[in-house]
Amino acid sequence: MLNRNFFINILRFIAVVLAQVFIFNKLNFGGIANPMIYPLFIILLPFETNNNLNLIVAFMLGLSVDLFTGSMGLHTSAAVFTAFIRPLAYRVISSNRVYESGIKPGINDLGIRWFISYTFFLVFAHHFFFFFIESFSFNEFWHTLLKIIISTLLSSLFIIILDFIFKPNKK
């Protein structure tokens, strides 16, 4: 499957990691929110890709972010979890067109409403997992929950904006 799609995904992988590490990790909003845009890569993986391959790619993605931030395993586990929950996401937020061949997840093919709910679902799953693993306890439950909600809103917003700017296939 060494086609155009394959290279686009590799480029996107690198771009997403670099953007996360050097731009979005430095953004903060009163110290409470921490926008994470690298789930964008998992969100935009083609539907036809083997699910097991998705998990492995997500593992590599999380590991790359971890290497830069020094939080070994934290982003990795959250990214793998996101890839695991992904099939559930497009089963719950179903659209008749998902199973047509050649359809890619994105605003172009499936419309803005579908994309927003799909992104929001996955980003929330990712952040929920991430922040609870990070605090490693339910001691600061409400504080962690607040962090999750604010960060989810911000990250989803950034991801949707980024998808608008870099539409994967201009027709």
Identity of the amino acid at 94 = S
Least gap, CB of 122 to another protein (angstroms): 15
Residues 50-79, interacting with another protein (CB under 8 A): 51-52, 55-56, 59, 62, 66-74, 76-77
At CA 105, angle to CA 78 and CA 13, rounded to 5?
50
Least Cβ distance, residue 34 to another protein (angstroms):
5
| Sites for another protein among residues 135-154 (CB under 8 A) | 135, 140, 143
Nearest to 64 by CA among 82, 38, 42, 36: 38
When the beta carbons of 30 and 102 are compared against another protein, the nearer one is 30
Tokens of 115: 């994309």
Residue type, 112: I
CB of 116 to another protein, least distance (A): 25
CB of 147 to another protein, least distance (A): 9
* Structure-token match 């771009």, residue found: 15
- Is residue 81 a contact partner of residue 38, using CB atoms and an 8 Å limit? no
Nearest to 82 by CA among 119, 32, 135: 119
> Applying CB under 8 A, which part among 8-16, 25-33, 112-120, 157-165 lies near another protein?
25-33
92 binds another protein (CB under 8 A): no
CA distance 11 to 27: 23
Closest CB to another protein among residues 67, 98: 67
Interface residue with another protein among 7, 14, 28, 94 (CB under 8 A) is 28
- Tell me which residue of 98, 95, 115, 93 sits closest to 164, measured CA to CA: 115
Measured CA to CA, the distance from residue 40 to residue 10 in angstroms comes to 13
Residues in the site for another protein, rule: CB under 8 A?
22, 25, 28, 30-32, 34, 51-52, 55-56, 59, 62, 66-74, 76-77, 80-81, 83-84, 87, 133-135, 140, 143
